[in-house]
Amino acid sequence: MYVNNIHMAVKKIQLTNFTKIEIQIVKYFFRHYKDRLNARQLAKILNLNHAHVNKLCSLLFKKKLLVKEKIGNSAYFTFDYNSSLAAKFMEYLLSLEETEFPEWLLVALHSLRSFNNHIKFGCVFGSSIKSKDFNDVDVLLVYGKENSNKIKLVKEEIRKSQLIDKPIRYMDITEQDIIMNKDKPIFYSILSENLIFYNPEKYVDVIRNAAHR
């Protein structure tokens, strides 16, 4: 019954009219689990109008997706990691990210799906998600050590196919590695700036765990 209620609530929140900027803001806050920002700081990062960002952050707080904390004269916001409803909504948003992959990564995306049966989640990070002028494709694969041999075989199949004209640079880690290294700048950058190609539900779970530890 609880699960059904959560899904019904998520359906309602999905049907709420969200602007592109609202979605941009809530995804930014979710992914940047170390950040607590006021509207002025966020507007500068996202290159948006401060007054508009302030209004939208307040709306997202009312929609129970953000947490607001008053410090002095400023209101600071973070994602509501304790909310199951907010987490489910984020899973829904991230499940759409395959449609957001830039055109120059679509062939790579097709090849990377070969890992799906052997990993917990996977994402692409680095320069390739931001510009078509990149030197290699940075890929994060999260899986258990028992699948190491299967992962090696898939990597070899992708290499032999020669479908991707740029080198793929893999980072292979376990879920425990993420939690142990979540505060290190390189891991934080990877976890907060990426495009998910497999299992956004696990990614959401990992980020929520990182935010709570």
Residues 38 and 6 in one domain: yes
Start-to-end CA span in the chain (Å): 29
Here the tokens at position 187 are 């891991």
pLDDT at 14 over 90: no
Residues 145 and 103 in one domain: yes
- The Cα–Cα gap between 110 and 102 comes to 13
Residues 111 and 85 in one domain: no
Return the CATH number at 115.
3.30.460.10
Residues 193 and 152 in one domain: yes
Q: Residue 95 contacts by C-beta under 8 Å, 6 or more apart in sequence? A: 200
Q: How many other CB atoms are found less than 10 A from the CB of residue 157?
A: 11
Full domain range(s) for residue 48 = 2-90
pLDDT at 18: 85
Total number of domains constituting the chain: 2
Residues 18 and 114 in one domain: no
pLDDT at 72 over 90: no
Residues 115 and 181 in one domain: yes
pLDDT at 35 over 50: yes
88 in Cβ contact with 7 (< 8 Å)? yes
Instruction: Give the DSSP H/E element, type plus range, for residue 52.
Output: helix 50-62
Average pLDDT over residues 97-122: 94
Which residue among 59, 90, 121 closes a domain? 90
Here the tokens at position 143 are 């899986």
* 182: DSSP letter: T
Identify which has the larger pLDDT, 97 or 200: 200
Residues 123 and 177 in one domain: yes
Least confident of 38-42, 161-165, 196-200: 161-165
pLDDT at 15: 45
Output b/e per residue, 52-69; b: 16+ Cβ within 10 A.
ebbebbeebeebebbbee
Residues 201 and 108 in one domain: yes
pLDDT at 94 over 90: yes
The torsion angles phi and psi of 186, rounded to 5 degrees, stand at -65, -40
Which residue among 90, 107, 130 closes a domain? 90
- Helices 20-31 and 50-62 pack at an angle, to 10 degrees, of 70
- The Cα–Cα gap between 121 and 188 comes to 16
Residues 79 and 125 in one domain: no
Residues 47 and 112 in one domain: no
66 in Cβ contact with 83 (< 8 Å)? no
Which residue among 63, 90, 117 closes a domain? 90
Instruction: Give the DSSP H/E element, type plus range, for residue 87.
Output: helix 84-94
pLDDT at 12: 53
Return the CATH number at 35.
1.10.10.10
Q: Evaluate if pTM is beyond 0.85.
A: yes
Residues 69 and 104 in one domain: no
Residues 198 and 124 in one domain: yes
